[in-house]
Amino acid sequence: MFTKILIANRGEIACRVIKTARSMGIRTVAVYSDADASARFVKLADEAYRLGPAPAAESYLKADLILDIARQSGAQAVHPGYGFLSENEDFAAACEAAGIAFIGPPASAIAAMGSKSAAKALMEKANVPLVPGYHGDNQDELFLKAEADNMGYPVLIKASAGGGGKGMRIVERSDDFIAALASCQREARASFGDDKVLVEKYLTRPRHVEIQVFADSLGGCVYLFERDCSVQRRHQKVLEEAPAPHLPAATRQAMGEAAVAAARAVGYVGAGTVEFIMDVESGQFYFMEMNTRLQVEHPVTEMITGQDLVAWQLKVACGQALPLQQQQLAIHGHSIEARIYAEDPDKGFLPATGTLVHLQPPVENAHVRVDTGVLQGDTISPFYDPMIAKLIVWGETREAALQQLDAALAAYQVVGVTTNIRFLRRIAANPAFASGDVDTGLIARYHDSLLPAPAAPSSEQLALLAVGETLAAASNDSHAFGALQGWRLNGTLERRLGFAHGDSRIEVLLRQQQEQQLVSVNGSDIPLRATLQGKQLVANLGGKQISATLVRHGAQRVLFADGERVAVDYLDPYAYEEAGVHGETHMKAPMPGRVVALLAEAGARVVKGEPLLILEAMKMEHTITAPADGKVLAFCFAAGEQVSDGDELVDFEAD
């Protein structure tokens, strides 16, 4: 077994690998960019070396520098994690040439499966069913459009070297094909340095089911069952679970055996995932691609099999046999993983950046696991994927796992960046998902119920916010409500507090009469008693005892109570009438990024929703559209220029 390994990655997966390595007595070497100098994985590793500036191209993608550090540190092997260099055949070959073990498949296997087009050709020879499509080398736009026209719409354009939903577009009409192709190619070049694409018939109601395979260098190969990853947005996974709900045992076995055959066909070694697309109506499955690395969602497989897949990787990479054979593997219970992201579901899932001023995950136990690379006080930067954590739950049944998931999400507290936690809770509660009736169109089909207009705070929440603000303003120590400076036990004293929620302004009245304290919300008086210790608020509202968390961040006030989160802005009741608010035509950059293309001319008249420019951020393209009917007076940036969060993008005049 290795005694020291280098982890050529960052964040959550680096922390994950360090945890297993430490349990096996293996020392770890971290490499980091300037943006990650104080990151959790750097602190956890036994040694850490600087790579370079924040952009991945100048740090985590510098293969030669990483290998130099491996030699310098005495690391005997490199674990690539996922993303970055994990599926780079040249890096795997360079490790081998340097006499350093690559904890992954041989370069030849990465090459065989690294191109979606080549992989599909290989699977076709092996008689694995394929979705109809064009996977060849001809990349002429008119030729590809003709292929799409012949197979019939909708079609799916995918980056041949891609993954993670990048460089992928669904095209519904022939007229839209050329523009979608150009966008795919731009995104593919930015993410993978390769703009080659393939075109496939798009199944209208598919499931995404993948098989975890593992092979050793001694001829052993097994499958550790399947994961269902159908719940997606923008082709990126949101919830993953194992086993797949309602999958017949015969289909599970057929998919598993096909995945093993695929792995054997390329001389595979290590952990890999063979992804299939399954037609919900017919139950027929088709090969989609093979990921020649550990997957983000591998923990659900660990939870149902009781195996540590990183430990398996380490054992196989140093020449040992697989720990178990196929007949020794069994499914126990059900596991679901939710990806906690810094993103705004109400704004098209735009990535969010900022400092995690308050971060309190649920308590981990045998049923709840949190894999994360961040701590309270860390910053979510624009340079990398905005994942905060992976929340993994387990139950004896799928129903029990769902209950664990909702409770754990309700307990997850984040302030400082917008997150998708509330959105994830709505998916978990969705009747179709709860019953296991899943496909990749679930989020789009239930869009309105999953993304409703933000609800106004309840009277109880407003009362807690008001009393918490009053106590916090007086002192950070514990106080009885009636003991605040200026309050009298005999007589009446009133205090008005103003809050803003969206475009609404809300006033709450606090009163003390005789020895009783009252809070008046929406015309109703509620008796209350409360104390505040740090962020912890304990209140009795009309006889109901409530424990809550109150976080004050600038003008923002965030309350966590009864499993719900509400955020408002505190307003000075004497000043907020004069405060200006931006109208619907105030067009600012929603995040740092680069202007890719301008889609309108200065001086042009446009209608609401018409595309104005394309902004690339975190290797994904985001289209900025007209907020109303009106006129484009000028663009503030040219194509190719960088913008910062909040920069004015367009000088726009609404009708």
Q: Which residues of 274-310 are buried (b: 16+ CB within 10 A; e: fewer)?
A: bbbbbbbeeeebbbbbbbbbbbbbbbbbbbbbebbbb
Query: Strand 77-79 and strand 4-7: pairing?
Result: parallel
- SS3 of residue 68 by DSSP: helix
- Cα dihedral value 90, 93, 94, 100, nearest 10: 140
**Candidate list 169, 207, 233, 293, residue with the active-site label:** 293
CB–CB of 255/209 below 8 Å? yes
Catalytic residue at 293? yes
Helical (H) or strand (E) element with 147: helix 141-151
CB–CB of 485/479 below 8 Å? no
* DSSP characters over 605-634: EE-TT-EEEEEEETTEEEEEE-SSSEEEEE
- As a whole number of angstroms, the distance between CA 365 and CA 368 comes to 5
What phi, psi does 269 have (nearest 5°)? -140, 135
Strand order in the sheet with 236-242: 285-291, 270-279, 206-215, 221-233, 236-242, 334-341, 387-395, 368-372
CB–CB of 6/79 below 8 Å? yes
Tokens in use for 125?
């020879």
- As a whole number of angstroms, the distance between CA 484 and CA 137 comes to 75
- As a whole number of angstroms, the distance between CA 86 and CA 79 comes to 8
Residues that are catalytic:
293
